[in-house]
Amino acid sequence: MKFFRRVAAAMLLLTLFVPQAALACECEEPVIIDGLEAYDRSLRKGRDDVEGFWGIYLDWQPEKGANRSYRMAIVKNTYDVYPEADYIGVVTCNIPGCTRGEVKLLLTRTDKRNEFESTLLVSDVDGAKGIAILTDDAENGRKNSVLDMRDMKYRGHVMAEWMVRIKNG
């Protein structure tokens, strides 16, 4: 009888705790769009100032490791994803921790010129959030070629300080 009580107690514990643990670990699939199309659109004539082909270096990313470098196309969000975002950043490289075509950055214009409410997606429910500011590159004088992300925090930490425009198109 004692054996059956232990088995019943163990089954009850499994029923109560295993589903919650499984739910905590579940991640949605990343949102993927056509990375090549996004890249081409990012370099088109007549694009908005923030649109373009960018490089980003992540110093701190606990879920996927540190020191990751991405290339990203920022384009106007005319896709049927993330309706709150005016622009999306689409990964154009294939490196561990991301997939070509994955949407990793959301930008929404604020009332201030060249300032965006921003989210750098880290997981399906969480990301670095804050304000990103489009500014000039002081070193070489290129206009609108740096996206200052120092205000964007993930769990209290800055993940990436800057994005730098790779090509003017």
Q: In the chain, where are the structural domains located?
A: 35-167
Residues 132 and 106: beta-carbon distance below 8 Å: no
Residues 39 and 57: beta-carbon distance below 8 Å: no
Q: 10 Å Cβ neighbour count for 115? A: 17
Q: Which of 21, 64, 90 is nearest to 154 (CA)?
A: 64
Q: Which of 2-11, 22-31, 69-78, 135-144 is predicted with the least confidence, judged by mean pLDDT?
A: 2-11
pLDDT above 60: residue 158: yes
Domain covering 35-167: architecture: Beta Barrel (2.40)
Q: What is the pLDDT of residues 25-67, one digit of tens each?
A: 334 678 999 999 999 999 999 999 999 999 887 665 444 444 5
Average pLDDT over residues 6-10: 41
Cα distance between residue 33 and residue 100, in whole Å: 9
